[in-house]
Amino acid sequence: MDAALVGCGFIGTLIAKHISTGEIPLRLRYVLDRNPEKVERVQALFDKAPAAAESLDEIADSDVKLVIEAASIEAVHSFAKPILSTGKDMMIMSVGAFATPGVYKTVEEICLRSGAQVYLPSGAVGGLDAVSAASVGRLEFVEQRTIKHPRSLEGAPYIENNKINLEGLKEAREIFSGTAIEAITGFPANVNVAVTLGLAGIGVMETQVKIIADPSASRNIHEIRAKGDFGELTFRTENLPAPDNPSTSLLAALSAVAMLKKITSPIKIG
C-alpha cells in the first residue's frame, strides 16, 4: 500500500523508521513538513527516499491510498476533508481536531460518500477497547485524570489565559477540571487522548477530565475510570515522555506504529 506522511516530528519520524525497516509493510511515497531539515532526516532513513511533497494538494492529487497525519490539529482541519473526499484513507494522530463542533459528523459523511476510512490510534492511554465495548450498553460516567510535570504544561492556552503560575510549584496541584472538549481547547498539545476517550465512550461533552501539575512527576500519568451496566473499570498508564518532546508520551508514538501494523495485517485484534 502506498502512503504519504504529513508531519516529521518525533511521532512521524518513528513511523518512518518502522516503515523503512519493513516492520510496517507500506511504501512511503511522500513526506511533508514545514521544516525541510526534518523532511531530509526522514528521507535519509530510506534506500529509496520518498519525495518531499510541495503541498497537500500534491498528496491529494496523488495515487497513494493512505495519508498518515502526525502534524497538528490545524493541519487536520485544513486537509482532512479534501484528502478524504478523494477516497484516500487517513490515520489521524491529532484527534483533538474532532472536538471542534461539526468535524466528526462532516468527516463521517465524507467517508460514507467516498469510501474512505479514518483510523484513530489509542494514543497514550489503555482501556479504550473496554470503554468502547461498555458504551454498547449504558455508560454512566467516564473520567480521565492526567498528571504531568509543570514543564510539560507550559505554554498551554489555558495556562496562559488564566495566568496560572507553574514556576516554583512545590506540590501537586489540580489546575483544570472540565469536559474533554474544554480540556483539548485549553491543552491542545497535552490531552488528545481525552478526545479519543470521549469518542470511544459517552462523547467529548460528557467525558470528564482533570489535569494535575505535579513537580515530582517523572512520567506522564493517565488514569481512566468508567462506570456503567458492565460494572466499573480503572486503568492507569505511567508513560515515559518522548525523548524529543516532553509533552508527548512515547506510548502515543508506539500506538501509531501499532495501528499501522493493524491496518496492514490480515488479522486484527481488538
Residue 47, judged by CB atoms within 10 A of its CB (0-12, 13-18, 19+), counts as: exposed
Residue 157 β-bridge partners: none
Which of 62, 116, 68 shows the shortest CA–CA distance to 88? 116
| C-alpha distances out from residue 188 to 27, 59, 180, 182, 202, Å | 31, 26, 11, 10, 20
Cell of 118: 479514518
| Residue entry with cell 466528526 | 104
Taking the CB of residue 237, how many other CB atoms lie within 10 A of it?
18
How many residues comprise the chain?
270
| C-alpha distances out from residue 28 to 56, 60, 230, 257, Å | 15, 15, 42, 14
* Annotation marks residue 77 as catalytic: no
Helix (H) or strand (E) segment spanning residue 12: helix 10-20
- Catalytic residue (choose from 18, 77, 149, 222): 222
**Residues belonging to the active site:** 222
